[in-house]
Amino acid sequence: MGSTNTLLQLIFSSALSGAAIHQLFRTHEPTRATLPLYLTLLFLSPFCLSVAISSDNSTPLSTPLSYISFFACLIASIITYRLSPYHPLADIPGPRLFKISKLWRAYICWTGEQHRALKALHDEYGTIVRTGPNEVSIIDVFSMKAVLGPDGLPKGQGYQVRRDVRTEGSLLELIGDPHAARRRIWNRGMSTESLREYEVIIARRANQLVEALQARDKIDLAKWLGYFTVDFMADMAFGGTAGPQMLENGCDKLGLLSLIEVAAKTSEILTHISWISLLPGYQTVLAKNVQRMLDFGREWSNSRVTSGAQTKDLWYHLTDEAGIEKTPPSRETVTSDSALAIVAGSDTTASAMTCLFWFLLANPECYKRLQREVDEVYPPDEDAMDTSKHPRMKYLGACLNETLRLIPPVPSGGPRTVPRGSGGKELAGHFLPEGTQVYIPPYSVHRRPYHFYPKTESFLPSRWLSDHEFNPTSNAPSDPRRSADGAGEEEILNTEAFIPFSYGPTSCVAKNLARREMMMVIVLLIQRFHFRFEEEFEWETWLDGIQDYFVALRKPLNVRVISRPRC
């Protein structure tokens, strides 16, 4: 009887201890400094209880029962609280699995389907959805401005998890005053004057792309556009003194594209289990691919330093070779930012152009209309690299907008956080406590009928043209639950909800460069070639293969290339 009472006392004490540990973790989240203490409490408490309570009546079951009771109650306490009406996000709808743990969100991220999953959740639950124990996703314009605007929320855990602590952090991860200071330097590198400098590089690499395609009749267009964007970004960042030279080699000898893809997948999955960043060895795992990218950056930066300033490239501006800043950034910081430029600028732009060509080939009437516009503005004997004629390319601009609407380069975006000490934030009719992570997913925002209607899910470039037969309005006056085809109803074109490059002071600093680059390349390719899907290529399902790992990763796009006559 004594042994039984002891075991019951042990089970009760262990269970109570598990519930108490949950309260400690809930009210005082672990930090890198407190993690050893928390781990000690987590894994030694059951053992210490078993020794203290059952020392006189020890049985082989004492320690196992103590651990089982402790962790069973700990897990039960966590689940009960997160599903209870006492949780501060209890009134926000969402699936139970998402409310209980971020592991389900991490699994969906691993599949590459998080952009579609978020849209499905918003279709079911509405404007705001609880997507984690302390996380929400919101898709209305007013909340978007409040979260991403000048007085919005700072970047959340998902960005900090990406940071390699051995560097000062790139522009992507910085927040507050450090971000503003670094952004000021980046803005000089993306000024109108700087863009004119970069046009020369774009033209040179674009013509090199044309030469490569002229020698082939069947290609993976996604791959070759990736070659172009990486080569261009390396030239733009480091002045053309080094780089992978993919267009020249006709392949990715360095494995850079594969590295970018693996790094994107790894980093994005880890953002959904941010607590793992506190564990010993995390930086070694995270930094493996990041460090490889930095190694490329160091090699190219050494070459750039040796050769000096040949042009006013991005390195020129980021290192402040003009002597404008009182305290220029360190060389390691500039290397990190330059590597970021290559990754962010190449993958997103290549993705957007690849998707545009898929939409054009899947919609032949749109392709023919764009081809007519190119032939009118840029006849065969005209220089397709003349950007002064871009304002006349209305339909190309509309096609780009529609592509970026349907497949934004960063489909789900990154999280913002309600700051500690702020007292919380009111968004979408709900109060969000401090520490809540907030997503504004562009893919879901763009595919909301309340923002773009009718044919919200269809490729309809004409919706962006002023001479469109409908009369677009900037805001939707009523609930968007309308007829499937939208016949006889008012069209909605809410340009405020168009955020392919994010929004506010931390929006993509290179958005103007990206748009100019895409227009130059697309005009040249349409002028010189006619494309069509390969006969055996299953193009109908290609769009379903787009995966979301912070950036949109795409499958091969197999096309036939036919040169067009030059006269």
Contact predicate 247/346, CB 8 Å: no
With beta carbons less than 8 A apart as the criterion, state whether 499 and 508 touch. Answer: no
181-186: list long-range contacts, CB under 8 Å, 24+ apart.
182/329, 182/337, 183/505, 183/506, 183/509, 185/317, 185/318, 185/320, 185/325, 185/329, 186/317, 186/318, 186/337, 186/509
183: three-class secondary structure by DSSP: helix
| Lookup: tokens for 200 | 């020369």
Cβ atoms of 426 and 146 closer than 8 Å? no
* Statement: residue 241 has pLDDT above 70: no
Decide if 136 contacts 439 (C-beta within 8 A).
yes
Q: What's the rounded mean pLDDT across residues 296-314?
A: 70
Q: Which residue has the tokens 């939208």?
A: 486
- pLDDT greater than 90 at residue 279: no
Cα torsion through 262, 267, 272, 274, rounded to 10 = 140
Sequence-separated (6 or more) residues with CB below 8 Å from residue 118 = 129, 131, 137, 412, 439, 441, 443, 444
Q: What are phi and psi of 386, to 5 degrees?
A: -80, 100
Confidence at residue 240, expressed as pLDDT on a 0 to 100 scale: 66
Domain ranges for the chain, please list them.
Answer: 2-83, 176-409+500-563
What are the strands, taking DSSP E only, across 271-394? none
Tokens read off for 508: 């993509």
**What pTM was computed for the model?**
0.88
Within 8 A by CB and 6+ apart from 305, the residues are: 331
Beta strands 135-138; 437-439: pairing state = parallel
Nearest CA to 30 among 269, 268, 276?
Answer: 276
pLDDT on residue 137: 97
Between 298 and 385, whose confidence is greater?
A: 385
- List of long-range contacts for 206-213, beta carbons under 8 Å, 24+ apart: 206/385, 206/520, 206/521, 206/524, 207/385, 207/524, 208/247, 208/248, 209/247, 209/521, 209/525, 210/524, 210/525, 210/528, 210/529, 212/247, 212/250, 213/525, 213/528, 213/529, 213/561
Q: Which pLDDT does position 488 carry in this prediction?
A: 45
Cross-strand bridge partners of residue 548: 552
pLDDT for res 305: 66
- The overall average pLDDT reported for the chain is 84
Asked if pLDDT for residue 475 goes beyond 70, the answer is no
User: Per-residue confidence at 239, pLDDT binned at 50, 70, 90?
Assistant: confident
Cβ neighbors of 57 (< 8 A, separation 6 or more) are 2, 3, 6
Q: Are 457 and 118 in contact (CB under 8 A)?
A: no
Q: Look at residue 520 and tell me whether its pLDDT is greater than 50.
A: yes
CATH architecture of the domain with residue range 176-409+500-563: Orthogonal Bundle (1.10)
Q: In this structure, what are the phi and psi dihedrals at residue 549, rounded to the nearest 5 degrees?
A: -125, 65
Binding residues for heme: 508
Q: Are 64 and 47 in contact (CB under 8 A)?
A: no
User: Do residues 446 and 438 lie in contact, with contact meaning Cβ atoms separated by under 8 Å?
Assistant: no
Q: Annotated binding residues, as ranges?
A: 508
- Burial (CB < 10 A; 0-12, 13-18, 19+), residue 510, is buried
Distance between CA atoms of residues 266 and 327, nearest Å: 34
CA 247 → CA 125, 292, 310, 351, distances in Å?
47, 21, 22, 17
The stretches of 308-330 forming alpha helices (DSSP H) are 314-318
pLDDT, one tens digit per residue, over 97-130 is 999 999 999 999 999 999 999 999 999 999 999 9
User: Residue 350 corresponds to which tokens in the numbers above?
Assistant: 């290549």
> Where residue 486 falls among pLDDT bands split at 50, 70, 90?
very low
Segment 324-383, tens digit of pLDDT: 777 777 767 777 776 667 777 788 999 999 999 999 999 999 999 999 999 999 999 899
Mean pLDDT of 36-47: 77
- In the three-class reduction of DSSP (H, G, I as helix; E, B as strand; rest coil), residue 479 is classed as coil
Task: Report the 10 Å Cβ neighbour count for 467.
Answer: 6
Spatial neighbors of 181 by CB under 8 A, at least 6 apart, are none
